Structure formats: structure tokens, C-alpha cells
Amino acid sequence: MKLIMLGAPGAGKGSQAKVLADKYGIPHISTGDIFRANIKEGTELGKKAKEYMDQGHLVPDELVCDLVVDRIKHSDCEKGFILDGFPRTIPQAESLDAALDQINETIDHVIDLEVSDNVIVERMGGRRACPECGATYHIVNMKPAKEGVCDRCGHGLVLRDDDKPQTVLKRLEVYHDQTAPLIDYYKKQGNLEEFDGTMKPDEVTKTIIARIGE
């Protein structure tokens, strides 16, 4: 099962990807993880990516695609994989298609989680994070035992800058401009599956599995 997760920041892509990865016994692959792994291992691709990142530049689409394709050639991807955070743009999607075609692979399903902007702003504005141990909570959906305090380590919780409404709105603007066009791109390919991301997480998971298969 070869899957791509689409959806705005805060739509629940990462959470669903982890559950589906466990369900299907396939790796959940994010570009951030790929970058970190290659840089840590000192691979040639990792060295090239680090050069761009150290200069504050975006890693070029072609190099990102090379890193992704290199990752999906690993033995743990024999049964499939879930791509989370890539592709982000039409050129990246085209590069990925071309690279997969060369190794006789295709994407089975592109899962798009539909959530309105106002719901995402509300969701992310309710997130609270522990700067000490990294645990995350939500003031409505996943409250800590004691308000404002981390259950795990007892440190005070904070609203991260990334989750503040003005930042979220900027991230959504970028998403609608660069990533949302991928919905039409994959719709034309016939492998797009759209889901209501405002349902409870377990309901979203059940709906996805019912549609794409056990």
C-alpha cells in the first residue's frame, strides 16, 4: 500500500499517518525525518541537503525527490509506505511521479483530509506543548491532569509560536497557494480520496480503511 497524506497544517495528517502505518505494517515517512537521518549518517545526499539548509536556503525539489526515492528503496518499504509532507507542490509531485515511474512504482491512494481554516485555527490555538520533554496536549481534546502543567515531567506548558493564530493563518496561506493545487493534480490521476477531517480521529481512520481496504 503506497500512500500520500494531504491536508492543511493541523488537519491531522501526521496522526492518521502513524495509525495507518501501524495498521498496514508500512513505514511513515516524513521529509524532516529523511533529512535528519541522511545528515546524521553523512550520506552524499545528506551532505548536499545540509549545504542548502546551513545557508538558510530551501532544499531544491530535485534533491528532496532523490532523498525520498532513496528512502522508499529500503527493504522496510517492500509492502509500501506513507509519505507525509511530500510532495508539497506540483513540481515536486511531477518529479516524484517521474522517479517512481523509473522504478516501476505508482502511488495507490492520495488521502486528503478536508478541514476548514477556522477549525484549524481553533484546533492549533488550543494546542499546548511542554518545552522540557516535548509532550503535547489540547485544552479541549486532550487536557493535562492539572491545567497548564505537563503530566509527564511537571513542567509548565506553552502555546508554541507555530500554533498562534497569526502564524497559523500565514501557514494556511502558503498551503492554499502551493499545496492545495495538488488536490486537482491527483484528482485528475484518479487516485485522490477525500475525507472529512473534522470527525473524531478514530472515525477518520475507520472511514479511510473502509474505503482503501484492509
Contacts of 194 (CB under 8 A, 6+ apart): 112, 114, 183
Asked about 40 being catalytic, the answer comes back as no
Is 128 one of the annotated active-site residues of the chain? no
Is residue 164 part of the annotated active site? The answer reads no
Of 50, 88, 164, 187, the active-site residue reads 88
In the set 48, 50, 160, 164, the catalytic residue is 160
List the one residue out of 114, 111, 78 whose CA is nearest residue 209: 111
List 48, 50, 164, 171, catalytic entry: 171
The verdict on whether 88 is a catalytic residue reads yes
Q: Which residues on adjacent β-strands are paired with residue 4?
A: 83, 110
Catalytic residue chosen out of the listed positions 13, 71, 123, 128: 13
* CA pair distance 181, 137, nearest whole angstrom: 31
- List C-alpha distances in Å: 75 to 55, 66, 72, 81, 98: 33, 17, 8, 11, 21
Catalytic residue among 2, 123, 127, 128: 127
Q: Note whether 64 and 38 are within 8 A (CB).
A: no
Q: Is 206 known to be catalytic?
A: no
- Going by C-alpha positions, the residue among 127, 121, 153 that lies closest to residue 141 is 127
Could you give the residue numbers annotated as active site? 13, 88, 127, 160, 171
